[in-house]
Structure 1
Amino acid sequence: MPAEGRGPRLLTLPAADRCLCWALRAANGRQLGVGVRAYRSEAELAEAVRELIIERAALRCTVGQSEGRLWVWTAYLPVRSTRPGAGEAVPVARSARGYLRRDQCQAGVEGFLAGLQWIGQELRRGGRDGHWPW
């Protein structure tokens, strides 16, 4: 287990039109993943990230090649509706960069999921006082 305060961090980043987005970074500063959406407020962003952390066990991650032939991953949360035709799973995160090999991309997925797990454990233990950014 990493030392207190030495684990992954969720960071708030500026986006277009005065919106915000997030990135998950490892303790060494390497980006593990980034959010797909931009949010209008910090409260909206924090709520989306809380949902991601709480629902992380339901994430479905896909690996594929980009137009540039690099391997990338995308994480999806299932739609929360029992209505027929409610829609597909919603993309919530993606790789922060492209990978040369599929196995490197899969390792990137595993690093992202492990980072979410670590942050979830920190929040349960009361680490970082439950305040954004985590």
Structure 2
Amino acid sequence: MAAERRGPKLLTVPAGDRSLGWALRAANGRQLGVGVRTYRGEAELADALRELIIERAALRCTVGQSEARLWVWTAYLPLRTTRPGAADAAGPVARSARGYLRRDQCQAGVEGFRAGLQHLGQELRRLGRDGQWPW
């Protein structure tokens, strides 16, 4: 029997309108982050996740307070187009799965999310699967 891989896992999350989202969960089951966008199918979702993992070093994360006065983070990928008006459509790709009581806890959540993406990138290279879905 093969040993189950330990480490963070990407989960597919069905949305109410027949689209798909994603969540990144740590090995202990704690959610590290969730996707902001939804996708029309597994192929579109896999492309977005592949881009997120490959471009993880370029992620820009912001930390702020929600209306409930909890600290939350949001992650953005840089815009990769020169199409006029595209910058207006740019938006976040991921966010914290929950709110935090303190700013330093929220920042630790950002680092946990980044570490999870790093682990997935290394696992993807180790397996040599060229970004095939599912991992």
TM-score (norm 1): 0.90
Is the contact between residue 70 and residue 99 of structure 2 (CA under 8 Å) also seen in structure 1? Answer: yes
Residues 128 and 80 from structure 1, CA distance in 2 versus in 1: closer, same or farther, beyond 3 angstroms? Answer: closer
Residues 44 and 126 from structure 1, CA distance in 2 versus in 1: closer, same or farther, beyond 3 angstroms? Answer: same
Residues 117 and 4 from structure 1, CA distance in 2 versus in 1: closer, same or farther, beyond 3 angstroms? Answer: farther
TM-score (norm 2): 0.89
Residues 4 and 122 from structure 1, CA distance in 2 versus in 1: closer, same or farther, beyond 3 angstroms? Answer: farther
What are structure 1's unaligned runs of at least 5 residues? none
Partner of 2:109: 108
Residues in 2 aligned to 1:4 and 1:129: alpha-carbon distance in whole angstroms: 20
Partner of 1:94: 95
Higher mean displacement: 9-18 or 76-85: 76-85
Partner of 1:72: 72
Q: Deviations over 1:30-62 (max 9, x none)?
A: 000000001110110010000000000110000
Residues in 2 aligned to 1:127 and 1:104: alpha-carbon distance in whole angstroms: 35
Q: Deviations over 1:4-42 (max 9, x none)?
A: 611000000111211110000000000000000011101
Q: Cα distance, 1:86 vs. partner?
A: 4.0
What are structure 2's unaligned runs of at least 5 residues? none
- The 5-angstrom pairing of residues 35-50 of structure 1 reads 35-50=35-50
- The 5-angstrom pairing of residues 1-134 of structure 1 reads 5-82=5-82, 86-87=86-87, 89-126=90-127, 131-134=132-135
Show structure 1 runs of 4+ deviating over 6 A: none
**Percent identity over the alignment?**
84
Residues in 2 aligned to 1:58 and 1:32: alpha-carbon distance in whole angstroms: 18
